[in-house]
Amino acid sequence: MSDEMIENDEELGRRKFLTGIIGVVAGAVATLVGLPAVAYLISPGVKKQNEESWLTLGPVSTLAPGVPTGFPFSRRIKDGWVESTQTGVAYAITQDGQNVKVFSNVCTHLSCRVNWNAERGGFFCPCHDGLFGVDGAVVAGPPPRPLDEFQTKIENGQISILLEA
């Protein structure tokens, strides 16, 4: 072989080697930068955003026995990239001043808002004339099940409900 051919073979070998090294280094840099960037973009969509939390409604002393009392509430919730405010009314009722039940104001039929209606003696849903008793049970109309009841605790004379994620 001539000296010129040997030089070309060595040059091609060095070129391939350097090209390979540059490719490996570029791949490593892309991985080091790319994986955290992808994780950053995806994480809000897969991460559990809202934890269960206890929300204080108000004092037990404001409840009259046998008469539901509405406590408006709101909380910030985060679902993926979307932040919003959840609002509602929790109706608390006690018969003895110590044991308290708290019901959601969301109708179990089509999620309309119910209101306490003393004339009808229950929680009335104006959407389809649903009526729930003072205990949250369905009295009339299309609702398929009773009003949802919040898990409740009383600490230092304050009523708190558990809002799930």
Tens digit of each residue's pLDDT (9 = 90 or more) over 58-109 = 899 899 898 999 999 888 887 767 788 888 899 999 988 778 999 999 999 9
Give the separation between CA 20 and CA 14, rounded to whole angstroms: 10
Residues 138 and 130: their CA atoms lie apart, in Å, by 8
- For 113-144, the pLDDT digits (tens) are 999 999 999 999 999 999 999 999 999 999 99
The token pair that represents 25 in the structure block? 């280094």
Judge if pTM exceeds 0.75: no
Closest CA to 90 of 111, 105, 108: 105
- Smallest CA-to-CA distance from 59 within 48, 71, 68, 67 is with 71
Q: HSE, CB side, 13 Å, CA atoms: give it for residue 132.
A: 29
> What CA dihedral angle connects 57, 58, 60 and 62, to 10 degrees?
-120
How far, in Å, CA of 8 to CA of 154, rounded? 87
15-73 pLDDT per residue, tens:
888 888 888 888 888 888 877 777 777 766 565 555 668 889 989 989 989 899 999 98
